[in-house]
Amino acid sequence: MSGFGRLQAALYDPLMAQAERRWMGDLRDELVAQAEGETLEIGAGTGLNLPRYRTPTRLVITEPEPSMLRHLRPRAGQAQVPVSVEEARGEALPFPDHSFDTVVSTLVLCSVANPARVLAELRRVLRPGGHYLFLEHGGTHDPGLARWQRRLEPIWKRLAGGCHLTRDAEQLVAANGFSILELACHEPPRSGPVKPFRLGRAT
């Protein structure tokens, strides 16, 4: 995440609550259930994935925004696995090469300043044969929706912490050194211009 102020961080969970109950929570469950071994989650926000982890042997979560970290750190105590929290940007991860068996991102590629650099960092810290698990949005094939997303994006970015409506997560992952092994596309009802969502596993 990028550009979140104190008010935006405080409102994030309440604004997401309805989507979390209806469908987003199920997608998060499906995503993190695949995490294995030593796991890194970048851009963890307020930590909505944290209570869902069961299988990693160790979990490291990063978040660059101090206002989000104030909500994230208390939630770390809800994790069912050993967890540590680091303040770090996805473009400059403070970990040695090949440190993790699994890396995870949820609604991150839409808002980072340099998604190609973030994906390069994820490749660097991922061990050979490891997996990148992602839940991201964008990349519609609907021309009408694409036009509305382009029109709304300038104001949307200002309101939503730099979030781009038009970034194609699937294309970004595939173009930056990853091979996508599994991919599911979801277009939940009443998600407005923020769709489709893609849940994937890459190596």
Q: For 110-165, what is each residue's pLDDT tens digit?
A: 999 999 999 999 999 999 999 999 999 988 888 988 899 899 889 988 888 889 99
Stretch (H or E) spanning 57 = strand 56-62
Residue numbers of the domain that contains 179:
6-202
**Structure token pair of residue 145:** 């929706």
Residue 1 counted as domain residue: no
In a domain, residue 81? The reply is yes
The verdict on residue 92 lying in a domain is yes
pLDDT for the residue 13: 74
Q: Whole-angstrom Cα distance, residue 25 to residue 99? A: 28
Does residue 111 belong to any structural domain of this protein?
Answer: yes
**What CATH number should be reported for the domain holding residue 91?**
3.40.50.150
Q: What is the pTM of this model?
A: 0.91
Retrieve residue 82's tokens.
């050993």
Q: Is the model's pLDDT at 8 over the cut of 80? A: no
| 30 exposure class (CB count in 10 Å sphere: 0-12, 13-18, 19+) | middle
Distance separating alpha carbons of residues 121 and 161, to the nearest angstrom: 22
Confidence of residue 182 (pLDDT cuts 50, 70, 90): very high
Instruction: Give the count of domains, the chain.
Output: 1
Distance, in Å, from the CA atom of 192 to the CA atom of 174, rounded to the nearest integer, reads 26
CA distances to 97, 103, 117 from 128, rounded to whole Å, are 10, 12, 19
Mean pLDDT of the chain: 91
Report which secondary-structure segment, H or E, holds 188: none
